[in-house]
Amino acid sequence: MTSVGLEGNARPGTPGFPVENRKLVGDVVFVAIFGYASYVALDYPSLARTFPLCIGLLATLLSLVNLAIDLNRKLSGAAAVRPPSPKSHLEETIEAEMEDLEALGELEEKVEKTTTRPLDIARAWGWIFGFALATWLVGLVAATALFILTVLKIEARKSYLVAVIGAALATAGVIAFSKFLGVPLPEPAWWPF
Amino acid sequence: MLHVAASALSVLFMPDNFIMLVLGVGIGLMIGIMPGLGGTVGMSILLPFIYGRSPEQAIALLLGMGAVTNSSASFTAILVGVPGTAGSIPTIVDGYPMAQRGEAGRALGAAFFSSMLGGIFGAVTLVALLPIARPIVLALATPELFMMTLLGLAMIGLLVRGSALVGTLMGVLGLVLGAVGGAPGAPVYRYTFDWLYLMNGVPLPIFAMGIFALPEIVDLLAGHRAVSRSRALTGSRWQGIKDVIHNKYLVLRCAILGTFCTMIPGIGGPVADWLSYGMAKQTVKGGTETFGTGDIRGVIAPESSANASEAGNLVPTLLFGIPGSGSMAIFLGALTILGVQVGPSMLDPNANLNLTLVIAWTLVLANVLATAACFSLSGLMSRLSLISGETLMPFVLVIVFTAAYDTTRQWGDLILLLLFGVIGWIMKRMGWPRPPLLIGFVLANAAERYLIVASERYGSEWLLRPGVLAIAAVLVLTLFGSIFREQRRLRRAAAAQ
């Protein structure tokens, strides 16, 4: 619900995929990426190699440590009995206030509101990739009109009048942006002229 | 100094710059109202529009936007109990009960006015710190600056909720991604996979929008959220202003806390806001009993700290080149794009001191404009929060696509945007922190430059410099200290079992 602050985007657990396995997958991805980056950097001339190699090797080492810790935790089953971390005064304050909010019944309502189904997520990505495809096929101006019209009609369930006005405004905005700032917009990629 | 400050103010009042400031403030107010779209997302969307503009215009646009998102976030926080940004969550605790009691106007008035005072205090502190910071900054050579970069990344990693090591690794991954493209000082292209588009590196606007904006758009589209239910704007806003004046020392204490806390890289505004709230609850008369039930001081405290923290975040960003938050990372990237070298030059009257003062004035003016707009447009702004995600997000997506293509005007922009969008969304779902990744990415160029200059100038002896050793010791202690603490906790848990 909240934005993207340093502590704002942690999402506890993904249904059907245990947290420990999720961590291990992430750890292996880290090792692979940093290992690959270090290996590729070996072929660069010295001036170009120094930075990625230093960083890559350091990160490979740290990611291996991370993998070992998480693997050990999973094998020993410690995570299953892991108690809550010792809380700072700040964390206690935050928790206390969030409990107050929960008591108002608001937090539960918000959590319910923000719970998204996989199908909804797939649809959202479908719209985004569809817009990209339409941009490639017919150019940004026509794609904008088409995209706004269909999303407002189908997803937002607006009337045709509202959808058409929305599409017209957005298209006019894109054209005005291009004209006033002299910025070229994506043309149809297949257009031969 | 005074004549430089006056000159900076006059620059900001030039029509082109002032229009950008008003535009930035307007966009910031709208972004603050929309849950899920915070200052980082807003800056990432606006970043491509700075190309071809002067540094003053870009600063006015970006900082004007970033400085005021917290102000307008109070609308949804107080009226409907939904935080517009992470920083507005503490405001809900007392602001929302006040709205339920029919005192929404009073809470909003106090929130806007204390936000403005906090923001102005932060800007003044930023300027006041310049003479003190100058000798410290000038004492640091490239080896120390390189180590400071790594320390900054490690600290940001440590402060991320969850594993400290994962946070740090994300920052380092950002460094690696920042190394994509042409190598400095050598005719080599790194990690391009023979894709011509990548030879100039990954453009920051594409990276930032992909990692931050697209995942939020997907979640808002998929969430079918009506942002809020309608709530009438009741109560007197002037009463709120009187409350702030009555609690002037609380405002000052919280503004100080917000400014100085956020000078430490990694301590974002939201943490400072909660600290202010907690401090106020513990220290004001009867706070432990009344906070949480609709006490106006519970609104004033976090709001005073919220906008002050923007200025606090700017101190390490401008003086050391170490951004303390995601939005500051984008701002630093914007300055780099425009050819502004942060660090000691930001304090040099013959170099960029004028720009530093433009930044401070932008914070002051943005806060004043935002407060005026919030007071006068309260009704309209409240209605904006009623717009549902699926109605609003298509328009935001069009802006994102247009902005993305404007970056280098190649199809690669859109392809990379989608790729990073998917990566950012996976990271969000998996609970992996995204801000360290962005901060590492922005720091990559400077870190590599520092490393190369240090190696060329000092050879391997730079590793033995006292400053480097001291920073390295702090780095190792903090990083491995967190690992050992985690291990000890697990062992205790096992023993207790």
Q: What is the pLDDT of residues B365-422, one digit of tens each?
A: 888 888 888 887 776 666 665 677 788 888 888 988 888 887 888 889 999 999 999 9
Q: Which of B86, B87, B80 is nearest to A113 (CA)?
A: B80
Percent of chain A with pLDDT over 90: 33
pLDDT tens track for B168-192: 888 889 999 999 988 887 788 999 8
pLDDT tens track for B428-469: 888 788 878 887 887 888 788 888 888 888 888 888 888 889
d(CA B208, CA B93): 31
Percent of chain B with pLDDT over 90: 4
Q: Please judge whether B41 and A131 are an interchain contact, meaning their C-beta atoms are less than 8 angstroms apart.
A: no
Exposed/middle/buried for residue B337 (C-beta within 10 Å: 0-12, 13-18, 19+):
middle
DSSP characters for B433-482? -SHHHHHHHHHHHHHHHHHHHHHHHHGGGGGG-HHHHHHHHHHHHHHHHH
Predicted confidence (pLDDT) at residue A102 exceeds the cutoff of 50: no
Give B355→chain A minimum CA distance, Å: 25
Give A53→chain B minimum CA distance, Å: 9
Residue type, A8: G
Q: Which of B407, B442, B446 is nearest to B197 (CA)?
A: B407
Q: Which helix (H) or strand (E) holds B72?
A: helix B69-80
Q: Please judge whether A6 and B278 are an interchain contact, meaning their C-beta atoms are less than 8 angstroms apart.
A: no
What mean pLDDT do residues A104-108 have?
Answer: 43
Q: Please judge whether A156 and B418 are an interchain contact, meaning their C-beta atoms are less than 8 angstroms apart.
A: no
- Among A51-55, A166-170, B285-289, name the one with the lowest average pLDDT: B285-289
Strand-pair category, B189-190 with B181-182: antiparallel
pLDDT at A105: 43
d(CA A192, CA B9): 51
pLDDT at A9: 38
Exposed/middle/buried for residue B51 (C-beta within 10 Å: 0-12, 13-18, 19+):
middle
Which value does ipTM take for this structure? 0.76
Q: Please judge whether B217 and A54 are an interchain contact, meaning their C-beta atoms are less than 8 angstroms apart.
A: no
Nearest to B394 among A8, A86, A148 (CB): A148
Mean pLDDT over each residue of chain B, to the nearest integer: 80
